[in-house]
Amino acid sequence: MEKTLFIFGYGYSAQALARVLKPQGWTVIGTSREGRERTILWPGEDLSEALGRATHLLISAGPDAEGDPTLRGAHEQIIAAAPHLDWVGYLSTTGVYGDHDGGWVDENTPLTPATKRGQMRVTAEAAWQDLASKTGLPLHIFRLAGIYGPGRGPFAKVRKGTARRIIKKNQVFSRIHVEDIAQVLAASIAQPNPGAIYNVCDDIAAPPEDVLAHAAELLGLPVPPAEDFNTAEMTPMARSFYAESKRVRNDRIKNELGVKLLYPDYQTGLAALLNAGE
């Protein structure tokens, strides 16, 4: 049967996976809220026929305060009844682990989200796991660290002089290049393990100010001045990103899926972006 990937939310990470699969002969069907070219308008259009053809399903659309929109109304029944699904992937976030004051977490760490966004992801993960337990859906959960890549690097802000090095003691983030997200998903598709959960991040968790400083150095520009987190003017949304500090282990994607990261640290990833013309 022709391999067909249906994607709820044909956004940045999903498009990176599509770029890997399409040259291999896959059909990729994605949804967008705007009904962009070569996507299905959703919410809006009837998805029954497309989901009925899908051999693989990726959920890249985020939850809201009411839960996961892909499981509302008739969608849950349509997904559960889809006759050809060999693999289902749900893109979650490492935010489900909450704050660990810079300590290490892995896939077995209890979920104690510190933000509303993280709480919504925990609820969405549980809803998908419940559906999988009832129906045998071949579910895989991928907890993504902070995503960067083409068009999402720090260089533009550094060049404009708008980059801010916010300093908060013991603050570290894990990151992942979008191309490494794509290769992790492709590796899972090639060797499904229903019920598996994977952290998707690189090898080095680092303070955000170090990443900005390195970007400036690569550009040969002055390092942006430091601002203390406690006194810096920030929106509530921006400040919430500093509510959690942790280092995320990625052993499972390496040991189980055999992934060798293209960009194992932010230094490698930023250099590649700059060389590509970012």
Mean pLDDT check: name the lowest of 40-44, 154-158, 185-189, 222-226: 40-44
Say yes or no to pLDDT of 142 above 80.
yes
Give a yes or no: residue 113 inside a domain: yes
Give a yes or no: residue 25 inside a domain: yes
Give a yes or no: residue 163 inside a domain: no
Q: Please tell me the predicted confidence (pLDDT) of residue 237.
A: 82
Say yes or no to pLDDT of 265 above 80.
yes
Q: Which residues pair with 104 in a beta bridge?
A: 247
Give a yes or no: residue 50 inside a domain: yes
Q: Which domain holds residue 46?
A: 4-152+175-203+248-263
What pTM did the predictor assign? 0.95
Q: Please tell me the predicted confidence (pLDDT) of residue 67.
A: 86
> Measured in whole angstroms, how far is the alpha carbon of residue 80 from the centre of its chain?
24
Is residue 278 very low, low, confident or very high in pLDDT (cuts 50, 70, 90)? confident
Is residue 210 very low, low, confident or very high in pLDDT (cuts 50, 70, 90)? very high
Q: Which residue has the higher pLDDT, 23 or 43?
A: 23
Average pLDDT in the 249-253 region? 98
The span from the CA of 139 to the CA of 80, in Å, is 11
Give a yes or no: residue 237 inside a domain: no
Say yes or no to pLDDT of 89 above 70.
yes
Report yes or no: 141 and 111 within 8 Å, Cβ to Cβ. no
Q: Please tell me the predicted confidence (pLDDT) of residue 93.
A: 97
Q: Please tell me the predicted confidence (pLDDT) of residue 37.
A: 66
Give a yes or no: residue 159 inside a domain: no
Contacts of residue 267, defined as CB under 8 A and 6 or more positions apart, other chains included, come to 214
Average pLDDT in the 86-92 region? 98
Q: Please tell me the predicted confidence (pLDDT) of residue 36.
A: 66
Mean pLDDT check: name the lowest of 22-36, 104-118, 134-148, 199-213: 22-36
The span from the CA of 143 to the CA of 200, in Å, is 6
Token pair 């892995």: residue? 106
Q: Which helix (H) or strand (E) holds 128?
A: helix 116-135
Give a yes or no: residue 104 inside a domain: yes
Pairing between strand 39-41 and 27-32? parallel
Per the structure, how many domains does the chain have? 1
Q: Please tell me the predicted confidence (pLDDT) of residue 181.
A: 98
Check residue 28 and give left, alpha or beta (phi > 0: left; psi -120 to 50: alpha).
beta
Give a yes or no: residue 160 inside a domain: no
AA identity, residue 110: P
CATH of the domain at 106: 3.40.50.720
Q: Please tell me the predicted confidence (pLDDT) of residue 35.
A: 61
Task: List C-alpha distances in Å: 148 to 13, 84, 155, 270, 278.
Answer: 10, 33, 11, 9, 12
Q: Token pair for residue 78?
A: 């349509």
The chain-wide mean pLDDT, for the chain, equals 93
Reported as a single tens digit per residue, the pLDDT across 169-207 is 899 999 999 999 999 999 999 999 999 999 999 999 999
Q: Token pair for residue 74?
A: 């008739």
Say yes or no to pLDDT of 44 above 80.
no
Is residue 40 very low, low, confident or very high in pLDDT (cuts 50, 70, 90)? confident
